[in-house]
């Protein structure tokens, strides 16, 4: 099918501890696998909001790969460019949560199928309206980074726009200077960047979230959506600054909530909603994303999201 939104990057499964404050260096219980990977979560949520979405990545020819592909296909995504790699296992993230809100991840990505990428072609991008890239994808491997850069070129050549969630891993990108150099080509080509305050500061070297977001606008983007967690988001353009309050939910698992937020924001822009409503849709998707165990399990359909925005009641 012709796709209007494309996400590119790592696809993996997540396996998590069943109890809080249960470290990864001791024998204990896990639950999973859950479909995961920041760009894959974004893609799934965008598809569930009613749009034609393609995911570009790779999985292993194993049961975890089947878990991922079955979920994405069931939610209506095009996975033509998400092949099974026969000589690599599907990527895995092990995670545990702590009572102070911190998380600990142990990744198997770079040398797994998740670190491999299929060949890209202009035909697949012919109808693209938005390409979404995550900073985590730029840190997986040089091959994936190069494919992300190529996808940006194909998207802009087709008249599409780019969205970028920094999702930064400074320690994997060689420090702040290397991080800015690696992210720079994507930031400059982006229509919208969706950072936290700390990420905006890292990308620009400017102190203060608002000041850093303004500095980001000077690098090329037309919109910056500043994620403020439980306080909602701030949408900033050269002419506007809009604060959208968060929706209140009982958070079960925060992993993936930011990717659901991204999907709501991009879909709102694609549909031409007023920026106030774009932020509201993104906040709703982000809040719901935290209400289920498993990073992709909080990606709900448009009808559920609309009902939540109208009533403030999350699905049971």
Decide: 19 and 29 in contact? Cβ < 8 Å.
Answer: yes
- Contact partners, residue 197, CB within 8 Å, separation at least 6: 209, 212, 226, 228
Measuring CA to CA, which residue among 108, 89, 104, 88 is closest to residue 28? 104
Count the Cβ atoms, other than its own, within 10 Å of residue 295: 31
User: Could you confirm whether 259 is annotated as catalytic?
Assistant: yes
DSSP class of residue 231? G
Residues paired with 134 in a beta bridge: 165
Q: Are strands 91-97 and 12-17 parallel, antiparallel or unpaired?
A: parallel
H or E segment and range at residue 166? none
Count the Cβ atoms, other than its own, within 10 Å of residue 313: 10
Decide: 169 and 135 in contact? Cβ < 8 Å.
Answer: yes
Q: Which residues of 61-73 are buried (b: 16+ CB within 10 A; e: fewer)?
A: eeebbebbbebbe
The dihedral sign for the CA sequence 96, 97, 98, 101: positive
Rounded to 10°, the helix 257-270/38-48 angle is 50
Distance CA 179, CA 199 (A): 11
From the list 259, 277, 306, 307, the catalytic residue is: 259
Residue written as tokens 């024998």?
A: 27
* Residues annotated as part of the active site: 259
């Amino acid at each position: 099918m012709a796709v209007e939104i494309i996400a590119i990057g790592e696809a993996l499964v997540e396996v998590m501890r069943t109890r809080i404050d249960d470290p990864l260096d001791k024998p204990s219980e896990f639950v999973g696998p859950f479909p995961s990977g920041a760009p894959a979560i974004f893609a799934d949520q965008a598809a569930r909001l009613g749009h034609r979405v393609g995911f570009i990545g790779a999985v292993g020819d194993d049961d975890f790969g089947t878990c991922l592909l079955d979920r994405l296909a069931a939610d209506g995504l095009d996975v033509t460019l998400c092949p099974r790699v026969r000589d690599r296992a599907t990527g895995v993230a092990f995670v545990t949560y702590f009572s102070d809100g911190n998380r600990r991840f142990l990744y198997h990505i770079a040398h797994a199928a998740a670190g491999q990428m299929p060949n890209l072609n202009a035909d697949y991008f012919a109808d693209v309206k938005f390409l979404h890239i995550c900073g985590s994808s730029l840190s997986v491997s040089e091959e994936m980074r190069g494919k992300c850069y190529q996808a940006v070129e194909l998207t802009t050549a087709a008249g599409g726009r780019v969205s970028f969630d920094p999702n930064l891993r400074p320690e994997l990108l060689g420090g702040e200077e290397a991080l800015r150099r690696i992210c720079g080509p994507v930031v400059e080509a982006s229509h919208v960047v969706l950072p936290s305050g700390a990420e905006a500061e890292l990308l620009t070297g400017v102190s203060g979230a608002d000041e850093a977001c303004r500095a980001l606008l000077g690098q090329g983007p037309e919109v910056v959506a500043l994620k403020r967690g439980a306080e909602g988001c701030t949408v900033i353009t050269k002419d506007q600054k809009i604060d959208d309050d968060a929706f209140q939910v009982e958070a079960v698992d925060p992993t993936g909530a930011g990717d659901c937020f991204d999907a709501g924001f991009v879909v709102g822009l694609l549909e031409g909603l007023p920026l106030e409503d774009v932020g509201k849709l993104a906040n709703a998707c982000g809040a719901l994303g935290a209400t289920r165990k498993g990073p992709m399990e909080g990606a709900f359909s448009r009808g559920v999201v609309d009902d939540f925005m109208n009533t403030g009641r999350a699905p049971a």
